[in-house]
Chains A and B, each alone.
Chain A
Amino acid sequence: MATVEQDLATAGSNGSGPKKYKVIGTRPIRHDGVDKVTGRAQYGADIRLTGMLAGVVLRSPHAHAKILSIDVSKALALPGVRAVVTNADLSDPGDRMCELGEGAVNLRHLNHNIFAKDKALYRGHAIAAVAADNIHIAEQATKLIDVKYELLAPVVDVVAAMQPGAPLLHADVYTDDLGEKSAQPSNVARHFRFEQGDIAKGFAQAACIIEREFHTATVHQGYIEPQNATAFWSADGQITVWTSTQGSFSVRQQVAELVGAPISRVKVIPTEIGGGFGGKIRVYLEPVAAALSKKTGRPVQVLMSRADVFEGTGPTPGSFIKVKLGVDAHGMIVAGEASLAYEAGAYPGSPVGPGAMCIFSCYNVPNGRVDGYDVCVNKPQTSAYRAPGATNAAFAMETVVDEVCQQLDLDPLEFRRRNAAKEGVRRVDGPVYPKVGLVETIEACQRSEHWNTPLEGPNRGRGVASGFWFNCGLRSSCSATVNPDGTVALVEGSTDIGGSRTGIAMQLAETLGIAATDVVPTVGDTDSVGYTDVTGGSRVTFATGWAAYLAALDIQQQLCARAADEWDVPAEAVTYAEGGVNGPEGRRFSFAEIAAKVNAHGDPVVGRGSADPQHCGGAFATHIVDVEVDPELGKVKVLRYTAAQDVGTAIHPAYVEGQIQGGVVQGIGWGLNEEYFYDVKGVMRNSTFLDYRIPTCLDLPMIDALIVEVPNPGHPYGVRGVGEVPIVPPPAALANAIAQAIGIRMTQLPMSPPRIVHEILKKNV
């Protein structure tokens, strides 16, 4: 059994003053670590079941087409083929909304996304699926399915899709235009507006007004593990699903709706998950595997190829954004106006809502107006991607802020500090900020060695940008059983993408005054742990950590009662402190001592925690980047990167740094490289990791994470969310650095070599 001291011995410093906690702020080795460095950890595609069949999905080769007929007879006749399913094998859940934790979905649209019904709406749209004795036979069989299409003109650009006369995706989608239904069906599903103050009056006070337009490309979450699902539909109607998902309860709900079973008949066993970033919340394959299993009576595993992932799963939207910003002679923002149009993909529901809420979120904008448009295009239905919607918006706004600073000759960090959102400031969409740490992240940058080291050399530039993400609370559950050897078995409901089970276990350990290694955390399935919302919204360490804290308090109370019994004193005479129970006249049992007694007599000690905390602290980040631009090749080299972020309290600083570093690098990829290329037929032409190029380690320097801790008063340990906001500032910070390096303002993402060369040539003409 390890001790708290041993945990502390392996701990690094998190750089934040005297230690308030014994476990929190240390860096123990994660509980699932050994399995993951030895290849033993079981991911979705590693499930092996007796009699298991392989499933393969047939996908539309066309971006937009009517489906006239689907003939599966030749596929069924192929030896080794066991079943074929189409949309006809799903249950129609009707036209209803279903909340998935990081955005709601319309269940009819979800049903049509699992298998196209009357129309294929994007290249890669699933049409049918085959289960066969092995994957090669299943693949061969999909080629024998005869689908007759009537081709329709596609539209894959958000601006083109908004024009009158654009190819129409849905006959039954009308614009909800500021609450009024449009007369005609439209690709624009929604137009909404946020407003405060009087923008005409605000702009009248401005000494400097900058107005710019921006385009950003469609990008993908790019998790390394493709989607997968294994299902067994038992003869008694029980459906078991093994899958790598961000939310097992969300999968349970979606599968139940899509196959027409009560949720109690669906058990979801979450496997280890190979990345998600928001892309593994919506289901794709789980209902397909279940439907194939129902038809065959055998377990069926369905896996996606990398091309399936790019062409068939939610990317994050391309967008068109306009920003107008007014600043007075004193360098204070007086007015802001923005319009954001985001691609929803095949069905309504882009993250333009959060994008519009985020665009002015780092500033006090007394007079503001933001318009948002949710636009259907012939691309896969977009999904959440790390701070969904915020990165596009920050690219536009932070670039305009930088240009204002340039025109007024203001220091970009000082401008941000003076105009920063802080406690009491009202965001344009309404909410008033509680205590937040944006100013502290700006000041951390101002104090940083990076900012105070001059950057020299030709074609080099330094850029800064800030970013915001809401974070969220939502519901979490756990149970914790005291073992007689002085440890605790913790079962929690949040699937663990990046070490969260350790961050949760550490909060339980801190509360009980035991070592992190003396808590053994397990991610439970939907039958063995209470309801828990998705791993998303930067919520897990905050909300599931809170549930673990409550379970620990429950254990404390039960152990106090047990000790009172042992000592024959009133229960209220016993308190839990310093890692043990303490009674009158100096009586004390350490946790290990009282734990050793719990199974000898009396009730087993099981702590329960369930939480729906409301006061998640918003997350702010400010980044600094140095770049060098190759003026011949247009290639941008990142020389140095520093990311300051208010994390509330860093539970496990190494994994907090890891979230920041990983988010930054995704943002760098988004800023410099990544985009979906479409041909005139609406076909994606780069659906491989060779051509959709995410950053490699050779593209990057070390990423310096500056952890700023402004504790969230709304959490027992001051936790805010960490995971999402670090992706928000990088594209803007890079654009601002490029502007300083070569004097060109990039207004289109990605800022890839061809685009930079194009701008350089244009400037030199």
Chain B
Amino acid sequence: MSVRPTAAILVAPGTNRDRDVVLALDLAGADSVVVSITDLERNANVIDAAQMIVIAGGFSFADALGSGHVFALELEMLLGDRLQQAVSKGRPIIGICNGFQTLVRMGLLSNGAGPMALDHNERGLFDCRWVTLRPSSEKCVWTQGIHENIECPIAHGEGRFTADTEVVARLQSNDRVALRYVNGNPNGSTDNIAGICDESGLVLGLMPHPENHVVPRQHPKFLRGSHQGLCLDLFRNGVTHASA
């Protein structure tokens, strides 16, 4: 029997970083099945068979009607409460970039904390650059035990985490701020928040792309001999948890 868990990677028309996540999960020890909206329309049970669930980055439905919004509406119609059920079974879920936007729109990350959203970047433009992230939650199964900063690119126009002070305070006091930007906040996110988890710690949403730094030479300073902050441990954490 295979010890490698299987991840269901949910994609919509416009999702485009699914291949990058497949590589990251493969290196971290998991197999992947890419599950499209069409697949879910035919048989939504396919995701129940997966030990972990990923909503990959991209521009689902061209960002029409707001980033992640239509994908969230589709998933709500197609999945009902299957994602909540997966959480109750202890299965880790990660939403990256557009996947984060989708999870927020579905309300999977705001539960117990209050309203939140991902707004246009402070500068109003799409921005592609490398950022440094400080893992800051022991509750989040994806970041727990990672004590070094990780580094990876952002590539988004709507990544400014927005919530009022009380919401952020609740996230903070419940150890749900999973990742913070350090050495510069690229998009004006409240309290430098780059990623948060849900109350269970199983669901992580983040704007940056850890799947693009799973091999050392992907780091821009690799050619200067000063690369650091590989993100593979984040995926290994998810895989370990999915195998448990």
Question: Do A and B associate with each other?
Answer: no
Residues of A within 8 A of B (CB): none
